[in-house]
Every structure is written in structure tokens, then in C-alpha cells.
Amino acid sequence: MSTFVLAGGCFWCLDAVYQRTRGVSSVISGYTGGWDPAPQYRTVCGGNTGHAEAVAVTFDPAVVPDDVILDMFFTTHDPTTLNRQGYDVGTQYRSAMFPLDAAQEALFRESAGKFAQLYPDPLVTSFEEPADFFVAEGIHQDYYNRFPSEGYCRVIIDPKLAKARKYYATWLDEPAAERS
């Protein structure tokens, strides 16, 4: 099993995509990359802790290759907007990758290089030192699956899931209700 720690805006979005990905055994929403020793949603959202909203994605590379997980990351958020994803603004919504070792860093940089050629604007995705990962409050875990009718889910997450379906359908294993 492998684990990638990735930040691409609101953690609910990446969580929703990776929850539907074959070979992913767990997606944990949390906070990383900051200096506050006890970050909480309200303080992180205030932009005063240095943390990014991130997910720790654990997956089986024999089922879903590393590059597919990273391709999904770069496809389902905008890695060209600094500290912003749509209406979500602040350093907590930055595009960032937190490699856990030198091999992951090389893999992450290679993936970013591939996607840098596909976007018209420069990528602003940062490569940050591994940091403590703080699990977000329970309400933030598996958010989309529990609240699919919420406004944020409909307006922000649904289009990201549609994009994932368009490009990565062979890697997705969605509930039957979502396939119809």
C-alpha cells in the first residue's frame, strides 16, 4: 500500500474523487503544512495556522497505479491558481504535495512536469516538506457521500466528479445510484 498526502483546495473535493477510485482503501481529510500544534477547522479556515486542507490517500498500486492517483489530482483541481480554488480563497486552499520520501518527491515532480505542459498558465503547486498530518473533525470525513445534496456538493464537487468520470471512468467504482 502507498499513501500520498495531497492538497488541492477544499479536502471534500479530493475526498469525493478518491472515495470512488478502485484500489483506494482509505481517504482521510486533514490539515498539514502549518505551525499550529492543534489545528481545527475554524482556525485553519481563518488562514492563521499555515495549514492546507489535504487528504491522505492510501491505495494499492497493484490496482491503481501511482500516476493515475496523481493524474486525478492534477485534473480535478486547478493547479494554476495561487491559494485559491474557485470561491475558496486562502493559503489553506493551496495546491500542494507533501512527499513522504525522496522517491515520492521525484514521482510528484515528474507528474507536475507532465501537467505543466497541459495547462496554459504556470503551475503553482508547491512541494512541501512532510509535516504532521492532523485528522480533520468527523464532519469532514466522507463529506460528499453523507451530504450529496448540500449546495457546495452540487455546485463545486459534482463538476469535479463529472471530470473524473470523463477521464478516469475505468478507474472508478461508484455506487450504482451514481452511475445512472
The catalytic residues are 10
Among all chains, which residue has been given the C-alpha cell 471512468?
169
Nine cell digits for residue 4: 500520498
Burial group, residue 175, by CB count within 10 angstroms (0-12, 13-18, 19+) = exposed
40 vs 21: CA distance, rounded Å = 28
Q: Are 128 and 100 in contact (CB under 8 A)?
A: no
Residue type, 81: T
User: 135 pairs with which residues across the strands?
Assistant: 30
Nearest alpha carbon to residue 4 among 74, 81, 79: 74
Residue type, 178: E
β-bridge pairing 126-127 and 95-97: parallel
